[in-house]
Structure formats: C-alpha cells, structure tokens
Amino acid sequence: MDAGGSAIKGIAASTLIPGASSKRVAIVHTEWNAAIISALVGGAVAELRRHGVREENILVTTVPGAFELPFGARAAMSSVGGAPPHVVICVGCLIKGATMHFEYISEAVCQGIMRLNTSTNVPVIFGVLECLTEHQAQERAGLAPGGHNHGVEWAASALKMASVAERL
C-alpha cells in the first residue's frame, strides 16, 4: 500500500532506464475507442521522451482495430528511422459488448502478439486494455477520477525489454 492507502500495481517506471536514449520504439495503435487510445499513446510517448528516447526514434502507426495489431506490429518491425525498432508497443482497447465478438478478438490479439514475441527477436509489448465497461477503460487511460494511464508502464516495459533483448 502507498501512503494514500491504495494498492500499487505495475512496474516501477520512475527510475530512468540506462541506454534508453538510443532505443528505437514503434507504437502501433488502434482507431477504436479514440479518446482512450489517444490518452494511452500520449502517456507512452511522454514516458519514452522522459527516458530520453529521441522523437525521431518513436514511430507511431495506426491500424483499424485490435485484430490488426499483430500485423501492424510485424510491419512496424521493418523500420524506425531507417533501422528496425528495438521494441514494439501494441496499444488497443476492447470493451465487452453484448456478443461473443469481445472474447474472439481478445483471444486472437493475445495469441497474435504472443506469437510475435516467440517468433521474432523484437519484443512486443501487450498494451491492450480488455475491459468490461467504458468506465474501466477510462480509469486505465487516466481519464477518470482515481485512474492511472497504463501507457506509462507499457513504455517503461518496452525500454526494459529492449535492454533484455540487447543482452541476449
């Protein structure tokens, strides 16, 4: 618990990550739930910049929906500033509706991103909110009172995983 009495979750993003300034990062995001996505991408980009990642080394690409994220991530692996990225962050937001569509898309996106992680040498960060309500998504994008923008942790995770991949 922190001093305010709330549970702390996620990774520590406050410490600057050594070597981050030289990293190339691709962010692939969806068009669906635009306000939530915009906040998450903004949080990720701000965190990358805070760690010293140069603007020209951040490539932001849009795909129509979450199902297209694995393809977009694979395509983004080809070039950021003339060289392959060190890491890709997939950002999306799925909100459960009245049909099975949510479950099918969620599973496909999870599996697609996992396959990229096991079949390429570029880490791919799973930055996809899978929420039961729009309010839950707003909280996780930092758009609702008491919420927190998870894009910040995704960016810190990306830089940490880029460092891991470099060492292997």
Any idea which residues carry the catalytic annotation? 101
Residues 6+ apart with CB under 8 A from 136: 95, 129
Cα angle, residue 22 at apex, residues 66 and 24 outer, rounded to 5°: 20
Query: Where do we find the tokens 């694979």?
Result: 74
CB of 131 within 8 A of CB of 97?
no
Cβ neighbours of 73 (radius 10 Å) = 26
66: closest CA among 121, 107, 26, 99? 107
Crossing angle (nearest 10°) for helices 34-50 and 151-167: 50
Q: What is the distance of C-alpha 106 from the center of its chain?
A: 15
